[in-house]
Amino acid sequence: MMGSKLAEKITVLQPLVELSDPHVLDDNKNRRSILSAMYEPLVERDQTGLFVPALAENWNVSNDARTWTFRLRGQVRFHNGAVVKAGDVVSSLRRSMDPALGGVLGTQGVFQSYLGEAEFHEEDDQTVEIVTKQPFADLADLLVDIPIISTSALDGGGLEEAGTGPYRLLSSTGSKMTMEPFADYWGRRTPALPVEWIAEPDEKSRVEELIHGGADIVSGISVEGKQIIEKTDKASLIASRSSVCVIFMFNLQSRTWKDRRLRQALNYALDRSELVAKVRGGGAISINGPLTPLHFGYDPSVPAYTYAPDMTRSLLSEAGYADGIRVVLDVPTILPDEAPRLARVMAEQYRRVGIRAEIKEFSNREAYAQMVRSKRMDDACCFDSSPLSTYRVFREKFHSGVRGPWWQGYSNQTFDTLIDQGRATIEASNRQRIYRQAYRIIRNDAPWLFLYSPNLYWGIGHAAGDWRPTIDGLVKL
């Protein structure tokens, strides 16, 4: 239950408050939380990660995993009063692929790369058919990130009234946004209170506002903020696992790092429990591959890269580097914010086994993302891989036939074949089995330095009631 009898509104403090275009793909949870209040996709994930109806009340897929048919809910209205029809869905899907929309931190062109050759049909006002050129059993992974917007509202020049979400926008400034419950919302749980989103970039100020009753939900809480909230009885702390993987991508276009023994050696040289303790205050779990336990294709039976200095020395010697090796680590100063500190702790651990690490810091995060996307990195670069979609992680980052935006030269034909089989396999348990096989291959080939998945934290006041974040870490009210 959200709120209390005495509360007049819910106040959410975030580092950023911004009404961005709903069809610009963005991993920023602040923007996505705001968008999720106003807009909705055809399908969404529940708290277990399963896909459930949103604007589509049901759907089916053909045996070849190419034709998807969605039946829309009846009489769902946009905030401008128009009824949602198949034409709105088709125009939204096409608009999401418009190259003029751009992207954030290198995400431009993602929708186009998957659906650029797809066909979209209006079977009738309530039925939409999507036909993909190749089998796409994981299409729902993509559709959860494509909100359906009103064509008529767009024709009128505004996005503010173009959504179907539980909240409609009342006002927006550079630092504050006010929304009211949408009276004609179709959902079972119509929100009872208005919500005010306020931008406060300074975490200390956000936490102080929470403790003094000026906020009901505060996001973007660090380990330091967590410790402050835990010491007060004026607010509560919510902790949640995340789908984020903090990793370093090896430059596999470099002849040196094509040798799997070297990549494994650098993985075995890391004491992840020490990394998590020093860098995240214990608030993270070690990972043994490119996925977290929240991911569909994660395999809990895969062994971890334990801290094994002797194994590191042996592998280095086998690869011809008995006297050690030099590695240049590229790190952004934000996203992940702890990247410079993380690299310094890693460098100290590497020094113990004869690996000389040089750290290069990059303060322009957008430029850093474009540098990595264009394959101009040094030996390894720090990233926080965030898609909750197993298929997206595998396809965009490892499939050598696709060579997606974050692919850095990895090639394994058996892996590629498994991913192609997975995308054509409709039955979920069989597809999961295939993706787990692929996961084991990536773990053993070690194209990344696998580090940890950080916990996410929120502070909540009494008016927030039993609020909890979504599985993908969003504030939904």
Mark whether 231 and 85 lie in a shared domain: no
Judged against a pLDDT cut of 90, whether residue 338 lies above it is answered with: yes
Q: How high is the pLDDT of residue 238?
A: 97
Is 284 within a domain? yes
Structure tokens at 103: 């992207």
- Residue count (the chain): 477
Q: How high is the pLDDT of residue 158?
A: 80
Per-residue confidence band for 104, with pLDDT thresholds at 50, 70 and 90:
low
Judged against a pLDDT cut of 80, whether residue 13 lies above it is answered with: yes
Return d(Cα 402, Cα 396) in angstroms, integer. 7
Return d(Cα 332, Cα 377) in angstroms, integer. 12
Is 34 within a domain? no
457 CB-near residues (< 8 Å, 6+ apart)? 221, 222, 223, 225, 226, 229, 237, 238, 239, 240, 283
Mark whether 191 and 123 lie in a shared domain: no
- Residue-wise pLDDT for 36-58, tens only, equals 999 999 999 999 999 999 999 99
Q: How high is the pLDDT of residue 4?
A: 45
- Span 409-417, average pLDDT: 98
172 CB-near residues (< 8 Å, 6+ apart)? 19, 160, 178
More confident residue, 368 or 174: 368
Judged against a pLDDT cut of 80, whether residue 212 lies above it is answered with: yes
Q: Indicate which CATH number applies to the domain containing 175.
A: 3.40.190.10
Question: How many helical (H) and strand (E) elements, i.e. helices and strands, does the chain have?
Answer: 15, 19
Mark whether 278 and 356 lie in a shared domain: yes
Structure tokens at 320: 């011809």
- Residue-wise pLDDT for 152-196, tens only, equals 887 776 888 999 999 999 999 889 999 999 999 999 766 789 999
CA-to-CA separations, 69 to 84, 187, 431, in angstroms, rounded: 16, 22, 20
Per-residue confidence band for 106, with pLDDT thresholds at 50, 70 and 90:
low
Q: pTM here? A: 0.95
Phi, psi of 435 (to 5 degrees): -65, -30
121 CB-near residues (< 8 Å, 6+ apart)? 90, 128, 129, 130, 131
Per-residue confidence band for 462, with pLDDT thresholds at 50, 70 and 90:
confident
Q: Indicate which CATH number applies to the domain containing 269.
A: 3.10.105.10
Return d(Cα 172, Cα 19) in angstroms, integer. 8
Q: Indicate which CATH number applies to the domain containing 140.
A: 3.90.76.10
Is 362 within a domain? yes
- Span 62-82, average pLDDT: 96
Number of domains in the chain: 3
- Residue-wise pLDDT for 447-460, tens only, equals 999 999 999 999 99
Q: Nearest Cα to 142, choosing from 337, 390, 335?
A: 390
Residues 41, 147 contacting (CB under 8 angstroms): yes
Mark whether 329 and 429 lie in a shared domain: yes
Q: Which amino acid is at 139?
A: L
Judged against a pLDDT cut of 70, whether residue 288 lies above it is answered with: yes
Mark whether 228 and 354 lie in a shared domain: no
Is 33 within a domain? no
Q: Nearest Cα to 453, choosing from 354, 314, 336?
A: 336
Return d(Cα 375, Cα 240) in angstroms, integer. 33
Judged against a pLDDT cut of 90, whether residue 99 lies above it is answered with: no
In the chain the first and final C-alpha atoms are separated, in Å, by: 10
Q: Which residue in the block uniquely carries the two structure tokens 């949602």?
A: 84
Judged against a pLDDT cut of 70, whether residue 103 lies above it is answered with: no
Residue 233 DSSP class: S
Mark whether 195 and 177 lie in a shared domain: yes
From the number of C-beta atoms within 10 Å of its C-beta (0-12, 13-18, 19+), residue 116 rates as exposed
Mark whether 389 and 412 lie in a shared domain: yes
Residues facing residue 218 across a β-bridge: 13, 459
Return d(Cα 193, Cα 181) in angstroms, integer. 7
Q: Report the run of H or E that residue 87 belongs to, with start and end.
A: helix 86-96
What is the rounded average pLDDT for all residues in the chain? 94
Return d(Cα 99, Cα 265) in angstroms, integer. 41
Query: Percent of the chain scored above 90 by pLDDT?
Result: 88
Return d(Cα 359, Cα 352) in angstroms, integer. 16
Judged against a pLDDT cut of 80, whether residue 367 lies above it is answered with: yes
Q: How high is the pLDDT of residue 105?
A: 60
- Residue-wise pLDDT for 18-27, tens only, equals 888 999 988 8
Domain hosting 54: range is 40-155
State whether residue 171 is helix, strand or coil.
Answer: strand
Return d(Cα 338, Cα 209) in angstroms, integer. 24
- Span 359-374, average pLDDT: 95
Q: Which amino acid is at 94?
A: R
